[in-house]
Structure 1
Amino acid sequence: MVYTGKPSRGCEVCRRRRIKCDEKAPECSYCIKTGQPCPGYKDMFELAWRDQTKVAQKSVERRMRAGAQAASKNTPSDTRIAPPALSESKALLSKTSVSTGLAPNQHDLEYFALNFWFTNYANPPSKSYEECGFVEHVAPLFLKSAPESTLRLSTLAVATILFTAWSGRNPDTSLTRSFYLKAVSAMKNQLSIPGNCTNNEMIMSVLLLQMYETLIGNARRKATTQAHLSGAMALIKHRGIQNFEDDVSKAILYWVRHLCIEESLKTCKTVECDPGEWANIPQYTVLPANSSLDGINLNLARLQAAIPQDFATGSNSTTLDIKDIIQAARGIDRQLIEWSGTLPLPWLAIRVTGEDSIPPSVGQAGLYQSHCHVYKSIQIAYLWNRQRLSRIRAQKIMLTQLLLQEPSLSNRMSQGSCQNTIQQLADDICATIPFYLGDRTKPGRIGDRNVEYPHARGSPIPETHYQIAPAMGGHQLLGALGTLLRFDIILRNGQKQWIGGQLMRLARIYNIGRM
């Protein structure tokens, strides 16, 4: 029987004859039956790294034909993303500050994916509050990297998974996996060379591979492995924290610290870093707001991890003092409030109401109450939501401990205060959703000016918002809304169901959960 399914893992004889190989060891049944020596089987990695040029070329040609057909029909109501024509992609790339180093007729899919990545995700920010961790530092190192370097391959893995997801297709493809496996293999080879363990390029490559795992985990709706984060920590310890002195090194170091703290907050486990080492972390001249927030969250994560899980859920089988825990949580909450007071005035949320600020289509797509919040940028909204989630964690710790104390009037008043604060913070997070998503309810294209967004009365929507909001907004909201549901906190009637509906909306827009 001729086998027309997936590429066979069988021996070369069966592959050449296009028949199904039973892959028995040490020789397959067909070779034994025909009396010829069996050449054996290819390695799994070799199969994953098979040449994808023809596959990519056919895929791009098919999508370009589909885009041309869609354009000929002239149907503006169809918001499914159409891959850019080659001329459009060239023009777009010429406007960016980064060249991919690929000729557009060489590997079209790779060209489009890298163009998409550097245009929408990894362009250096024009303002400090647009910084988003480490990705804005990828471009300079990418341009200096070799074609088969770990950094270039890991960048291709992330770029292709984002590009295919925005194209409305399953992001977990053989091509994205091949880049990922090649990057892992290249990393093993490069780490064997002295000096490669201590450079910025290697740690940045590990962080990109962690980003790849996070995107795959989001798409599959499964927990993300943190193996690469642990690898980044190992490289940092090997290099020594005191040796991260330039701006790129500091950005990488602070981002690894951020990921470790966020993972600890999510799992309620000890922060994977030595407190003494992080105390000596090289400081910026002016500490960015996201890094100073991480400093407060580090204390919150340690407090959260110090409380046994049975104690946090109502058991009194611990020697920890309830009053000390409440006092510590209250102190952290106070620090979080003081942090928000250090932000510049333009960074504050603007509450908007009415159809002159909130288009009716935005309300129909998802508006929890009659108002919503707008901000100077997506990154500022993300910082505020991080602060709100941390405050909810601190308030939840206080509330849990208050429930273990003897009932009294002051105790009940404190419980009510915690519940009201948690509810207000949850409402404020829900109020950011229209700012992130506008009136989107299904996949579209980044930069679509037909998307309606809320805005302050008399103020136009910034040009960059049409680009940055769809590119990053959903990924930021996914974590915030998912965390709200996992908190198991008291919310208004129907609010949990509404948040669940918004998560389903995110899944449709960002092609999540199709695997």
Structure 2
Amino acid sequence: MVYAGPSRGCSTCKKRRIKCDLSRPFCQNCSKRRLPCPGVPDPPGIQFRDETETVIQLFQGGAGANDKEGSGTAAAEDYEYPNAVVPNLGEDENFVSLCFFFHNYMMSGRGVQSSRGLFEHLIPYYQPTDPDSLISVATASLTATMLSMWRGRAPDSILSRRYYGRAIDLLKDTLKTPHGCQADTTLIAIIALQFREALIAHRKMAKVDGSHQRGAYAVVSYRKSKGFCDMASKRLLQEVRSTMVSEAIRTRQPVQIDPAVWEDDGPMPYNPASDLDQIAIDLANLQALFEQYKTTLQIAFAKGQRVLTAKDLSTIASFRRTAAAIDQRLQIWASAQYLFYSPFRLTADEIPESVRKAGLYGDFCNVYPTVQIAGVWHAYNSYRLLLVKMMLCADQTVRDTPREDDVLLSESEAWRKAAEETLQHGVDEICAAVPFHLGNRTDPGSIHELSNTADIEYPWPSPSRDPYSNPCSPGREYAREHNVIPLSGDERKRQNLCMGGYNILGPMAFVLGLAGEPLDLTGVQQRDPPPPILASLLRQDQIPWLAGQMRRALKLHRIRREQHPRGGGGGGGSKANHGPPNNRTPPLAESSKPAAAEKDDAGSGDVALDVVRVKKSMKYSFGV
């Protein structure tokens, strides 16, 4: 009798040694006799066969006997069994993305002197957690997004969405308890989820969703500033405050000062960037009042007003005085920083030739100790540009508009010249930072560049002139107290590859958008000549060069944007070319428009659209 394997019947029939009819859910034998039937077991999903060496030889012998041209011995010698052992079980994508994220984004260039973002705060809270906690799942969603972007795929990958859904469920459950609302890990997880949304919007050049950011504001308001006790917790509070200020400046709204959020019981961690935020609060409130008055004045002129009244002149003068006072505070902040925290200027002969060919405006560039600290200085220069724009706009309006009783309250020519030089200097500083962020890269790279940076060059001072690796005596003491560790050459390159273009796109878009704004408060367009725009006060080639560099940065980061008909819309560059005649000083260098960055001048009509999209996608990012 042939053995057909073990019985597949229920255990009751096996004990009674009778044949089971294999009925489901209960066999008929047990039902007829009213016996408890556990049911027929399911067949195993995988059945292993005993393929020993003897079985293999028998199989090969049978195959050789049927083969007239071969022999059993030869077949046995040529036998291969490639599927006997799986080569590997595959890599855990979550583990790979976490290693990639921590190695390239978290482990270098992070310190309390630049702690205004997610990366500086994540490590202290992430290490002691378990893999199924809220912060771990939220971080996994972010890291999966980053790795997918570096692999050239869609940022919202399947793995990222899976972890994102789990994080949302965990976040909902956590926020149901008072303890969960008070936990630092809840706030840092919300910030991580918002950063993921910002990355996806940045890659797609779409408007970023601010639901998580508003959730972070709500959590901070619930906890109040008294709920942030230790230094790590207070740095989290500083980061959320910084985002509040940046958002207010971007949207031209005042900062809502809630005493529960902004009043501190004890000392806060020292951070130059947080000191800059305190000045930026007054800037945001002044800008909101300025925009409100501008709208009111334009409505009045649209209804028939033809002259500036005495009240208008007094209001405009107060705007100029307040802007000048805030600008003076910004300059005091800049002069108080240590040398190793400040930008370091390199001349053209100190910059690698490949970097100069890729994009260098003028004959110098600035380098910074880290990309994060560079972002602080970009915010500083952008704040000064906003202030000088308000002052020049007010002065130009008084000069060009009839005044009641012909009262002249415009500034002197010496003041006007100094203000225009401040404007030019601020734009020069943004242009001088482009080589530091983009280096000699002109084409999109791959993830393999992070492990082999030999062919990538960035400007950096020689060892004898390096103020960051060899700080002076007061700076060395500060660096020791705040655990500031200089970066190696490879770490600097990887940091710029990861975040360099992302950190310079916002300032470039800000300058290009600012350059197209008219120097007029009344909104009256029927003038001869028409009111000038801000770009008319800059060098004629500067805005087109900056537009080309922004297209280069978008290309390097593989930003996907919709294609529009050529010439459909004027950007900052086109406005600069059609402005009033420019008698400013000539360009600083003859090679101000490198071929690598300016070979697509015909696409300058898309600059305005790119600027708007970059601003929308970076609404909650650092700076302006």
Kindly tell me: are residues 458 and 241 of structure 1, through their superposed partners in 2, closer, same or farther at Cα, counting changes over 3 Å? closer
Asked if residue 152 in structure 1 is aligned to residue 136 in structure 2, the reply is yes
Aligned residue in 2 for 1:464: 491
Rounded to whole Å, the distance in 1 between the matches of 2:428 and 2:204 is 28
Count residues in correspondence: 410
Rounded to whole Å, the distance in 2 between the matches of 1:283 and 1:311 is 39
Contact 1:402–1:411 (CA under 8 A) maintained in structure 2: no
Aligned residue in 1 for 2:277: 294
Contact 1:314–1:404 (CA under 8 A) maintained in structure 2: no
Paired AA for residue 179 in structure 1: Y
Structure 2 counterpart SS, 1:315: helix
Rounded to whole Å, the distance in 2 between the matches of 1:387 and 1:430 is 14
1:339-359: CA deviations, max 9, x gaps?
Answer: 00110023333222234x111
Aligned residue in 2 for 1:307: 290
Aligned residue in 1 for 2:425: 424
Gaps of 5+ in 2: 1-87, 301-310, 401-407, 467-487, 517-533, 563-624
Rounded to whole Å, the distance in 2 between the matches of 1:219 and 1:314 is 39
Aligned residue in 2 for 1:494: 541
Paired AA for residue 158 in structure 2: S
Rounded to whole Å, the distance in 2 between the matches of 1:312 and 1:351 is 41
| 472, 494, 508: which one aligns with 1:481 | 508
Structure 2 counterpart SS, 1:450: coil
The worse-fitting range, judged by mean Cα deviation, of 137-146 and 465-474 is 137-146
Contact 1:209–1:228 (CA under 8 A) maintained in structure 2: yes
Q: 1:117-266 to 2 correspondence within 5 Å?
A: 117-123=101-107, 128-129=112-113, 131-266=115-250
Structure 2 counterpart SS, 1:454: coil
RMSD, aligned CA: 2.6
Aligned residue in 2 for 1:503: 550
Aligned residue in 1 for 2:315: 321
Asked if residue 393 in structure 1 is aligned to residue 395 in structure 2, the reply is no
Aligned residue in 2 for 1:347: 341
Structure 1 counterpart SS, 2:178: coil
% identical equivalent positions: 30
Rounded to whole Å, the distance in 2 between the matches of 1:312 and 1:403 is 17
Residue 370 of structure 1 and its aligned partner are, at CA, apart by 2.1
Structure 1 counterpart SS, 2:411: helix
Kindly tell me: are residues 139 and 350 of structure 1, through their superposed partners in 2, closer, same or farther at Cα, counting changes over 3 Å? closer
Residue 178 of structure 1 and its aligned partner are, at CA, apart by 2.6
1:365-390: CA deviations, max 9, x gaps?
Answer: 11111221122332332221110001
| 442, 449, 455: which one aligns with 1:450 | 455
1:310-360: CA deviations, max 9, x gaps?
Answer: 6179738597811211111111100100000110023333222234x1111
Rounded to whole Å, the distance in 1 between the matches of 2:273 and 2:162 is 34
| 324, 335, 348: which one aligns with 1:330 | 324
Structure number with bigger Rg: 2
Contact 1:478–1:503 (CA under 8 A) maintained in structure 2: yes
Paired AA for residue 327 in structure 1: R
Contact 1:124–1:137 (CA under 8 A) maintained in structure 2: no
Structure 1 counterpart SS, 2:203: helix
Residue 126 of structure 1 and its aligned partner are, at CA, apart by 6.6
Contact 1:449–1:466 (CA under 8 A) maintained in structure 2: no
Kindly tell me: are residues 310 and 178 of structure 1, through their superposed partners in 2, closer, same or farther at Cα, counting changes over 3 Å? farther
Structure 1 counterpart SS, 2:298: coil
Greater than 4 Å deviation, 4+ residue runs: 104-107, 124-128, 316-320, 406-409, 457-461
1:84-110: CA deviations, max 9, x gaps?
Answer: xxxxxxxxxxxxxxxxxxxx9676221
Rounded to whole Å, the distance in 2 between the matches of 1:335 and 1:222 is 35
Structure 1 counterpart SS, 2:450: coil
Structure 2 counterpart SS, 1:321: helix
1:5-34: CA deviations, max 9, x gaps?
Answer: xxxxxxxxxxxxxxxxxxxxxxxxxxxxxx
The worse-fitting range, judged by mean Cα deviation, of 115-124 and 275-284 is 275-284
1:155-195: CA deviations, max 9, x gaps?
Answer: 11211111111222222323222322321222112211331
Paired AA for residue 154 in structure 1: A
Gaps of 5+ in 1: 1-103
Contact 1:378–1:473 (CA under 8 A) maintained in structure 2: yes
Rounded to whole Å, the distance in 2 between the matches of 1:158 and 1:228 is 14
Rounded to whole Å, the distance in 2 between the matches of 1:218 and 1:347 is 28
Paired AA for residue 446 in structure 1: L
Residue 391 of structure 1 and its aligned partner are, at CA, apart by 0.5
Contact 2:225–2:261 (CA under 8 A) maintained in structure 1: yes
1:202-259: CA deviations, max 9, x gaps?
Answer: 0111111111111111111122222211111111111121121212211110000001
Q: TM-score, normalised by structure 1?
A: 0.74
Contact 2:217–2:240 (CA under 8 A) maintained in structure 1: yes
Rounded to whole Å, the distance in 2 between the matches of 1:476 and 1:202 is 26
Contact 1:125–1:131 (CA under 8 A) maintained in structure 2: no
Contact 1:232–1:256 (CA under 8 A) maintained in structure 2: yes
Contact 1:123–1:136 (CA under 8 A) maintained in structure 2: no
Structure 2 counterpart SS, 1:496: helix
Residue 130 of structure 1 and its aligned partner are, at CA, apart by 5.3
Rounded to whole Å, the distance in 2 between the matches of 1:198 and 1:457 is 48
Q: TM-score, normalised by structure 2?
A: 0.61
Structure 1 counterpart SS, 2:345: strand
Paired AA for residue 263 in structure 1: E
